Amino acid sequence: MALFGIVGAGLMGHGIAVALARAGHHTRLHDPDPAALADLHDRVEKALELTGTSGPASAAVQDLVSATSDLDSALRQADVVVEAVPERMAVKHEVMASVEAVVPAHVPIWSNTSVLSITGIGAGMRHPERLVGVHWWNPPHLIPLVEIAPGDATNPRLVHEAEELILSLGKTAVRLQRDVPGFIGNRLQFALVREALHLLDEGVCDAQTLDTVVRTSFGLRLAAVGPMENADYIGLDLTRSILANLAPHLSTATESFPALDKLLTDGHRGRATRQGLLTWTDHRAIDVAGRLVDGIRRNLAATEAAVR
Ligand SMILES: NC(=O)c1ccc[n+]([C@@H]2O[C@H](COP(=O)([O-])OP(=O)(O)OC[C@H]3O[C@@H](n4cnc5c(N)ncnc54)[C@H](O)[C@@H]3O)[C@@H](O)[C@H]2O)c1
């Protein structure tokens, strides 16, 4: 079993630790924020409950998770380093420099960046050949998919080894041939968000209606049948003709998202400020948290069947 040094013990760092420790790997987390370390084991416990792990099995996982505010002791003996710090290039560069000062050149570093370029992160490194994009989805202890991408300088052997390790956890690993911002999943996800915002800006419907349309139509089948399989299923001639008529009307916005920008200018950030695209009551916040987990669990069986 390997020892993983995890830099950043936030939402993703602790979930990645749970996914690794459940497979028997040792994990040592580092975070400069004492608050992130103080409740780490409580958060790990909650994550384990979600996976249905309890009693002695849960205690065994907890034993494999440790935390320290000292970067050196978290990483000194690590076989692999996992970076899960905030999504800003300057922070990634700063953290990579600190990590490289501690770990020998042969130790691979996995970045969990969502949308930053792996090549761009590697550009600030002494040994960019050891950097692999290994993108987990939230919550990492439940969601099967992990996307793996090389930067321009990445050693292909380390990409292969990352894939093998992720597969050995029982996860679904997909490999990108090259580094693109957003990997695959976030590109698809935010193409949908961009078009939804476009429909709002065009006054076609309100935000609640957009969610209703997705949840009661193609959202129902996405976990069972992917868009490529569906395109073949309905026929590529039909798919081509729909695109010929529709593509010219779809958003290609890259800078301006008026409805979203106005909300942000007015201080509305969504759930945290109780107003965003929708109005957030305490009840909605609790309800959404529950539906997120229940929905993922329900769809897991369908997803597993679909990728077989
Ligand atoms: N939240 C998601 O749904 C999600 C999903 C996939 C990938 N990611 C990516 O994972 C990464 C982490 O996201 P998150 O949601 O866990 O963020 P988070 O804010 O929950 O956690 C980040 C942690 O990093 C710590 N940190 C800040 N500076 C640090 C430093 N210099 N050294 C070590 N730790 C430091 C913070 O104290 C915090 O605990 C980001 O790149 C994000 O894009 C997030």
Q: Where are the alpha helices (DSSP H) in the chain?
A: 11-22, 34-38, 40-50, 55-63, 71-75, 89-100, 118-122, 156-168, 185-201, 207-215, 218-222, 227-234, 236-246, 258-265, 282-307
Q: Is the pLDDT reported for residue 303 higher than 90? A: no
Pick from 11, 83, 91 the residue to mutate for probing ligand 1's pocket: most ligand atoms within 8 Å of its CB. 11
**What domain range is 111 assigned to?**
3-175
State whether the Cα torsion 241-242-245-251 is positive or negative: negative
Which pLDDT does position 89 carry in this prediction?
98
- As a whole-number percent, the residues of the chain with pLDDT over 90 amount to 95
Question: Do 294 and 258 belong to one domain?
Answer: yes
Pick from 6, 7, 12 the residue to mutate for probing ligand 1's pocket: most ligand atoms within 8 Å of its CB. 12
Ligand 1 centre to CA of 110 (Å) is 13
CATH number at residue 256: 1.10.1040.10
In a domain, 228, yes or no: yes
pLDDT mean over 57-77: 97
Domain boundary, last residue among 146, 175, 204: 175
Apex 292 CA angle, 82 and 44, nearest 5: 40
- Model pLDDT for residues 155-166, shown as the tens digit of each residue: 999 999 999 999
Question: Ligand 1: residues within 6 Å at CB?
Answer: 7-13, 30-33, 36, 84-87, 91, 95, 112-114, 135-138
Q: How many domains is the chain built from?
A: 2
Amino acid letter, residue 197: L
In a domain, 220, yes or no: yes
CA dist 10 and 40 (Å) reads 9
Which pLDDT does position 306 carry in this prediction?
59
Domain boundary, last residue among 175, 202, 220: 175
Over the chain, what is the mean pLDDT? 96
Ligand 1 centre to CA of 94 (Å) is 14
Which pLDDT does position 49 carry in this prediction?
94
In a domain, 180, yes or no: no
- Model pLDDT for residues 273-293, shown as the tens digit of each residue: 999 999 999 999 999 999 999
